[in-house]
Amino acid sequence: MIIQSERVWLSGGFYPANITVEEGRISHIAIGLTHHAAHDFGSRRIIPGLIDSHAHGGWNYDTNENDPEGLRRWAVNLPAEGVTAFCPTTVTDEDATLLAALENISRVMDEGNAGAEILGIHFEGPFLCQKYRGAQPEKQIRPANIAQFQGFEKAANNRIIAITLAPEEDADLALTRYCTQRGIVVNMGHSDATFEQALEAVANGAKNVTHVYNGMAKYVNREPGLLGAAFRLDGLYGEVIADGIFVGLVSASHLYRLKNDDYVIMISDSMKAKGCPPGRYMFGGEPMILGEDGATRREDGVLVGSTLQLNRGLYNMVERAMVPFGAALKSCTINPARLLGLDGHKGTLQRGYDADIVVLEDNYDVHTTFCGGEVAYSIAG
């Protein structure tokens, strides 16, 4: 099968090209157009599939729920926003709830699903700090513990690909070092860590800062903290919720300017209310309200999570925050793939890579999405 357009994103620019797909992978890319294309998308933009490495749910499904059909429903709907791969992300909860949720995700991964590929589980909490817990349930937050985490690993059948923890709650950085040795990406978040504590965590394997600006102290000139570490430390990734609500557009653009283009990760941080009408929903056992602005809040007004579609996040960063298109695109394609160790077959349009391909309109609406070379979404139905 050949897919082509006058504008295919290759090596940092758009060029006329055709892409040959065989057995779910890109087998050949040729510059120029051909008369033999099965799918000719004219002048529409062709980009790599988007990767959402931090998302808690959607379409009335929460990752903490033991609901295989809910997880499958979420995965089937994601290609409509250009997402071809994602990491279901847990939140702090009772052990029994988390264990069942982890078993649920692992079972669906074993059985397979339509739509976006499940890359692995992002385990956010419960090893967090109380002060910056945000919407994480207070009663279940606890210091890091390797033995407890091993129980979660077992339930997940070793499908945990990333963890978010507060480094100051990880005594001697024991869990950070354990996860690093296991190949699990360590993110720092919901944390009151000092700059020095964050630096030490990075020196011991931490690689990423969870939703920069949110769940951490504000930047102070003499107390830069975790936010200062996100800004300053070379090689440290930083996530940004790209909805323009959790992070102001100017602040989002600052992160892209301060970090190398290779180290910003665009995320949705979406909740179960995504894809649903405004109203009252539950998150981590607590009620939340989805407003007309697309953000979910606790009843006391604290922001909980977004309902962002990642293609709209791309729009927000490029057209509103004035981030260069290439930098914004890398933050939701090759950068998360590299962070998760998947950049050998995901995140870019290149021979030998998975045929995760998105056709984008100029207004950032998704026209067609291919997951593994199969049409997973098309505006034509």
- Asked if 167 and 216 touch (Cβ cutoff 8 Å), the reply is no
How far, in whole angstroms, is CA 196 from its chain's centroid?
27
Using alpha carbons, select from 23, 14, 44 the residue that is nearest to residue 369. Answer: 44
Q: Say whether 211 counts as a known binding-site residue.
A: yes
The whole-angstrom separation of Cα 337 and Cα 85 is: 10
**168 annotated as a binding-site residue:** no
Residue 372, strand partner residues = none
**For residues 210 and 260, what is the distance between their CA atoms, to the nearest angstrom?**
17
Residues 6+ apart with CB under 8 A from 325: 318
- From the candidates 170, 243, 261, 269, which is the catalytic residue? 269
DSSP letter, residue 263: G
Active site includes 192?
A: no
The answer to whether 28 is a known ligand-binding residue is no
Q: Would you tell me the crossing angle of helices 225-232 and 249-258 to the nearest 10 degrees? A: 50
C-alpha distances (whole Å) from 101 to each of 71, 95, 155 are 10, 10, 9
Q: Which residues are catalytic?
A: 269
Instruction: Show binding-site residues for Zn(2+).
Output: 124, 190, 211
Instruction: Show binding-site residues.
Output: 124, 190, 211
